[in-house]
């Protein structure tokens, strides 16, 4: 790092569909401070949100900013997939009066954090042993469904920038085919995200309720999860177990595609909240059920990310190495 860039105050942000998380750091990406989470709905865009964050936390005004955003980064214009923010990178840089503003996909940032996770920041579900210097896969359900990974090179790992959550949903049995048939009435393209995410819990609940002959409005996604975990509600448990099974299929497809013998990491906000329910769910069984490649997948470990703000750490490393 050039001397003139040492000890610069830097701000890192992780902008999701629901919340924007912030922290500050200087030269050490592993040492973040002033962590704070704010609701995206309360603000018109990143300039207003960051100014509010700086005021509320009394954090130092940054010279450089990195934002991990839940949308593709393909040019100057950024439109968040699952919230109302729509902004120009350069206009935002000028509005915040910073020397540099770097943007990257949120799951690319999360992937960059994986080599830095401690043992206490991850929990393995099922068997398997990671192979050193092999590809690593990442998938996670929050508001949407994020997908990324790390590919090994002679110079270390390189993150994947993609939008794998929007591939077509892949049913694995007749019941899931019926779920797809029902959801197709509403959406011409049913992506994996349409069912394996926070926004996906509503159509998933309604489809399963129809199959089970249950009428009435669907609860909110938060209530579906709460009733499964706290009340052991049969329909909500069915929905969440189906959700976990679908995630297992998606994770297995990703692992085979990348050859992810270095492990599959599960991020996002939903699975860590499920705790032991997820460990008992059909996730791992479904992950390993892949016909002739079942033994291949049984050898791959699946790990839940427990770190509170891992994408912030990954984004901070991206800023320092860019």
pLDDT in tens, 123-158: 999 999 999 999 999 999 999 999 999 999 998 999
- 120: alpha, beta or left, given left = phi > 0 and alpha = psi -120 to 50? alpha
Helical H runs in the chain? 46-57, 89-96, 106-113, 174-184, 201-212, 221-229, 234-258, 270-274, 276-280, 283-288, 294-298, 310-321
CATH code for residues 3-112+310-321: 3.30.420.40
pTM of the model: 0.91
Q: What local confidence, expressed as pLDDT, does residue 3 receive?
A: 46
Q: What local confidence, expressed as pLDDT, does residue 5 receive?
A: 57
Per residue of the chain (322 residues), what is the pLDDT tens digit?
454 456 789 999 999 888 999 999 998 888 899 999 999 999 999 999 999 999 999 999 999 999 999 899 999 999 998 889 999 999 999 999 999 999 999 999 999 999 999 999 999 999 999 999 999 999 999 999 999 999 999 989 999 988 999 999 999 999 999 999 999 999 999 999 999 999 999 999 999 999 999 999 999 999 999 999 999 999 999 999 999 999 999 999 999 999 999 999 999 999 999 999 999 999 999 999 999 999 999 999 999 999 989 999 999 999 988 7
In CATH terms, are 3-112+310-321 and 118-305 the same topology? no
Domain ranges of the chain: 3-112+310-321, 118-305
CATH code for residues 118-305: 3.40.367.20
Q: What is the mean pLDDT of the chain?
A: 94
Rounded distance between C-alpha atoms, residue 139 and residue 263, angstroms:
11
């Amino acid at each position: 790092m050039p001397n003139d860039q040492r000890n610069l105050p830097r701000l890192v942000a992780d902008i999701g569909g629901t919340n924007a998380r912030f922290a500050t750091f200087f030269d050490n990406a592993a040492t973040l401070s002033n962590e704070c989470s704010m609701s995206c709905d309360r603000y018109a865009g990143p300039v207003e949100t960051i100014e509010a964050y700086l005021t509320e936390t009394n954090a130092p005004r940054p010279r450089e900013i990195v934002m991990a955003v839940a949308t593709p980064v393909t040019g100057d214009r950024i439109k968040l997939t699952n919230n109302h923010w729509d902004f120009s990178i350069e206009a935002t840089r000028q509005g915040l009066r910073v020397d540099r503003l770097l943007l990257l996909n949120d799951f690319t940032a999360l992937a960059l954090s994986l080599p830095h996770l401690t043992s206490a920041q991850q929990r393995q579900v099922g068997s398997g042993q990671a192979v050193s210097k092999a590809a690593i896969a990442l998938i996670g359900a929050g508001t949407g469904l994020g997908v990324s990974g790390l590919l090994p090179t002679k110079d270390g790992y390189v993150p994947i920038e993609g939008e794998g959550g929007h591939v077509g949903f892949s049913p694995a049995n007749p019941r899931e085919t019926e779920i797809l048939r029902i959801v197709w009435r509403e959406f011409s393209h049913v992506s994996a995200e349409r069912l394996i995410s926070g926004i996906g819990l509503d159509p998933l609940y309604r489809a399963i309720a129809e199959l089970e002959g249950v009428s009435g409005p669907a609860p909110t996604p938060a209530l579906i999860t709460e009733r499964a975990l706290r009340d052991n509600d049969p329909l909500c448990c069915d929905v969440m177990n189906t959700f976990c099974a679908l995630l297992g299929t998606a994770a297995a497809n990703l692992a085979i595609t990348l050859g992810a013998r270095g492990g599959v990491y599960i991020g996002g906000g939903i699975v860590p909240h499920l705790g032991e329910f997820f460990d008992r769910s059909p996730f791992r069984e479904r992950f390993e059920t892949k016909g002739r490649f079942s033994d291949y997948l049984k050898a791959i470990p699946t790990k839940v990310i427990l770190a509170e703000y891992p994408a912030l750490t990954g984004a901070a490393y991206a800023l320092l190495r860019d």
